[in-house]
Structure 1
Amino acid sequence: MISFKNVLRKKKLSYGKYPIYLRISKDRKSLFFRTPYTADTKEWDSKKGIFNQNTANYLNKNRVLLKLIDHATSVVTELQQNKRSYTLTDIERAIRIESNPAYQNIYKFWDELIEEMIKAGRTGNAQVNRDTYNSVKKYSKKKVLNFNDITPTFLDKYEVYLRSRNGTDGGISVRMRTLRALFNFAIKRSLIKPDNYPFKSYQISKLKGRGAKRALTYDDVVKIVNKDLGEHPELVDARNYFVFSFYTRGMNYADMMKLEWKDVIDGQIYYTRSKTKANFRIKILPPVQQILNYYKEHQSGSKYIFPILLKDKMSPTQIENRKKKTLTRYNQKLKEIAKLCKIEKNVSSYVARHSYANSLKQKGISTDIISESMGHQNLAITQAYLKELDNSLVDEAMEVLL
């Protein structure tokens, strides 16, 4: 049983009157919400919970009080329709959200969410959200942007804005998926209603690109592995990182960077992939062992295998900043290596992962084994992944027509 009533609180204010509150009672417990009004005992009908005729403009004041009860009743009715059971806390959250514009401010909620990500060590996600936050704010030119301002039309125009600044399908997709995740968080925390969700109409799936995935053939990878870098010692680390990634099932740079010597046990490498939280146990192949031996010989005393994180105790933000700085330099050096190897394709850190999958495909390894080795959640992901990679097998098959 739930009841609503406007009541005069007992604590007198400094100017002699009492504040009027809306009381919501359920299961012998009550919530109180302050109304705009105050009264003394002579002006108030405590049984009916309204102003009496001794009060100036009492009819209009009573209309406002009744509207407050009507609003609270509609909020509770919606909770009853959407949830089998609800508490006073649910009612309080719903009423405060609808009556307090601060909860509707996207920027305020986004700041809190980014701070939570940083505290949880999800600095990569935090950076993506901060970049999108800044982009949306620059586009909207509003100091306050409410959730209901983000409509399908807003998203269409924002997409046009990003394209006018040379945005690609892949880059725009990242921005839109970040915004969509923000809405999903807000709905999950009951900050907004699902009715305000703009991504039912605006379809992110139309943004096909991250562009075609680039991969090297196995022969190209061998060129990099065997390239004599005697005259280019500054490229040795970059080559080592690329080869290590290739022979550890495409381990990404962020995970390589945080790999510790304690993760190497009895000819195996154990680690948890940052992106998916999947656990991996990888057999150490000879090229990987050679790289481990190299860094064992040249180690600086750090707990980390690779000389990327130079201190043992770094904050998540420091680690993310270090990754960003060193990854840029790493990719630059990979391009120099590709040039020395006369490889015309664009080579970057993630190409090692693509090349690993493509090489297995070239060697005739089944898709389900490739999927398991890469830690994909299902076979469909791997099939889509391989579909975008090197088409050399298809090209060779077509030659039977000649």
Structure 2
Amino acid sequence: MDFFRFCSDHIEALKNQGRKGSAGTLNTVLLSLKDYFKGNALSPLEINEWMLTAYEKYLRAERKLTRLNQGKLITRTVKGMSDAAVHNHFRDLRILFKAAMKFYNKPQIGEIRIPYCPFDNYKIVDAPETRKRNLTVEQIKAIRDCKVPTDSRAELVQDLFMLSFYLCGMNAVDLYHLRTSNIIKGRVEYNRSKTIRRSDKAFISIKVVKEAKPLLDRYLEKSHTRYNSFENLDRAINEGIKIVNERAKLSGITFYWARHTFANLGRNKCRMSKDDVGLALNHVDQGNKTTDIYIEKDWGIVDEVQSKVIALLSEPNEARIKKLSDPVEQRRTMRIVNLNV
């Protein structure tokens, strides 16, 4: 049994299933294990409680990592992991280990090659309570209206952040993969990438409101030509959001805050039910799976949540909509912004 080889095959299978996000986080664990063991092969039987204790100590200490970057091996020093990072890392390692147990063990014929799971006795550090990722209406307006350099990553993030908010918290990966074929009779129809294993394929239909239309016209099928992979777009978003934070006089805001904020405003400000907000977010209701078999989804409910949340911004930024829609006005605006930056 070679745990490293199993992990590589498992990660490749996830990529082939379109689960690149999960594959990426698990690959990080695999690379870290190879750093720790300094070898090209590892028996899963070497992963036990004592090894996990030593490995956690290793992760919490400053260490050097050597990775391939644009065809070159680059060595850098990284800080020790926090409780949250260790929690996530060990959670992913447990996923890999249990997948290996399922692969190698064949209890139906009495073949148990991995006799026990060390995570049954090893206490993974609890994840600290995360900071609530909710913005106020005024903070959303600040992001929408702040001045950023034209044709910059910051402008890209600003527009995609607002587009995500207008489209009920649509994820960046789904925005990246959006095509003209997804726009049907004034609605965005797609399957959410993070939940492809659901029986309904995580399908959702969202109205293209007037605030979203110019942004869709600008970025639809263009983000993937500017960036040849979502991972590259994601890196650009992570860099651009820093400038947006600075210009909007905010701090620590990430792209995912658009989704959290949409949900929070829908429930706490618009007083929509949690079920209706969950439908708009394309969540599955674990408690009503049987009932959902009988009830057809009503996209009008999603429209209602969407319209009430967007209405909180009071008057839409008509000037920005006009600039995005009118090429002549847009060029004039770009010159003004360039002078002010």
For this structure pair, what is the TM-score category when the shorter chain's length is used for normalisation?
0.5 to 0.7
Q: CA-to-partner distance for each residue in 1:245-283, whole Å, 9 max, x for gaps?
A: 112121111111001111011121111111112211112
SS of the residue 1:310 aligns to: helix
TM-score (norm 2): 0.68
Alignment counterpart, residue 93 of structure 2, candidates 174, 179, 186: 179
Alignment counterpart, residue 308 of structure 1, candidates 223, 227, 230: 223
TM-score (norm 1): 0.58
Q: 1:256-271 maps to which residues of 2 (within 5 A)?
A: 256-271=175-190
Aligned to 2:162: 243
Contact 1:368 1:379 in 2 (8 A): no
Tell me how far apart the structure 2 counterparts of residues 240 and 369 of structure 1 sit (CA, whole Å): 26
Q: CA-to-partner distance for each residue in 1:35-68, whole Å, 9 max, x for gaps?
A: xxxxxxxxxxxxxxxxxxxxxxxxxxxxxxxxxx
CA RMSD of aligned residues (A): 2.5
SS of the residue 2:161 aligns to: helix
Contact 1:105 1:146 in 2 (8 A): yes
Aligned to 2:213: 289
Contact 2:59 2:81 in 1 (8 A): yes
Q: 1:298-377 maps to which residues of 2 (within 5 A)?
A: 305-310=220-225, 322-343=229-250, 345-363=251-269, 364-377=271-284
Alignment counterpart, residue 120 of structure 2, candidates 200, 205, 208: 200
Q: CA-to-partner distance for each residue in 1:129-181, whole Å, 9 max, x for gaps?
A: 22111101211234432111111222222222112232123322332122212
Q: 1:23-34 maps to which residues of 2 (within 5 A)?
A: none
Contact 1:172 1:207 in 2 (8 A): no
Contact 1:371 1:379 in 2 (8 A): no
Q: 1:80-119 maps to which residues of 2 (within 5 A)?
A: 104-119=1-16
Tell me how far apart the structure 2 counterparts of residues 188 and 349 of structure 1 sit (CA, whole Å): 36
Tell me how far apart the structure 1 counterparts of residues 173 and 36 of structure 2 sit (CA, whole Å): 31
Q: CA-to-partner distance for each residue in 1:336-384, whole Å, 9 max, x for gaps?
A: 12222222x312211211221222233133322222222333479xxxx
Per the TM alignment, residue 228 of structure 1 is displaced from its structure 2 partner at its CA by: 4.7
Q: CA-to-partner distance for each residue in 1:62-103, whole Å, 9 max, x for gaps?
A: xxxxxxxxxxxxxxxxxxxxxxxxxxxxxxxxxxxxxxxxxx
SS of the residue 1:282 aligns to: strand
Is the radius of gyration larger for structure 1 or structure 2?
A: 1
- List alignment gaps of at least 5 residues for structure 1: 1-103, 296-304, 312-317, 381-402
Amino acid at match of 1:261: T
For residues 193 and 262 of structure 1, do their structure 2 counterparts lie closer, same or farther at Cα, with a shift above 3 Å needed? same
For residues 273 and 225 of structure 1, do their structure 2 counterparts lie closer, same or farther at Cα, with a shift above 3 Å needed? same
Aligned to 1:39: none
Tell me how far apart the structure 2 counterparts of residues 252 and 170 of structure 1 sit (CA, whole Å): 22
Is residue 2:127 matched to residue 1:219?
A: no
Aligned to 1:388: none
For residues 339 and 255 of structure 1, do their structure 2 counterparts lie closer, same or farther at Cα, with a shift above 3 Å needed? same
Tell me how far apart the structure 2 counterparts of residues 131 and 207 of structure 1 sit (CA, whole Å): 20
Contact 1:214 1:346 in 2 (8 A): no
Alignment counterpart, residue 204 of structure 2, candidates 249, 255, 280: 280
Per the TM alignment, residue 194 of structure 1 is displaced from its structure 2 partner at its CA by: 6.2
For residues 307 and 203 of structure 1, do their structure 2 counterparts lie closer, same or farther at Cα, with a shift above 3 Å needed? farther
Per the TM alignment, residue 193 of structure 1 is displaced from its structure 2 partner at its CA by: 4.9
Tell me how far apart the structure 1 counterparts of residues 178 and 129 of structure 2 sit (CA, whole Å): 27
- List alignment gaps of at least 5 residues for structure 2: 63-79, 106-111, 197-201, 288-341
Is residue 2:37 matched to residue 1:140?
A: yes
SS of the residue 1:280 aligns to: strand
Aligned to 2:319: none
Amino acid at match of 2:256: Y
Tell me how far apart the structure 1 counterparts of residues 272 and 18 of structure 2 sit (CA, whole Å): 36
SS of the residue 1:287 aligns to: coil
For residues 193 and 359 of structure 1, do their structure 2 counterparts lie closer, same or farther at Cα, with a shift above 3 Å needed? farther
Aligned to 1:127: 24
SS of the residue 1:325 aligns to: helix
Tell me how far apart the structure 2 counterparts of residues 210 and 170 of structure 1 sit (CA, whole Å): 9
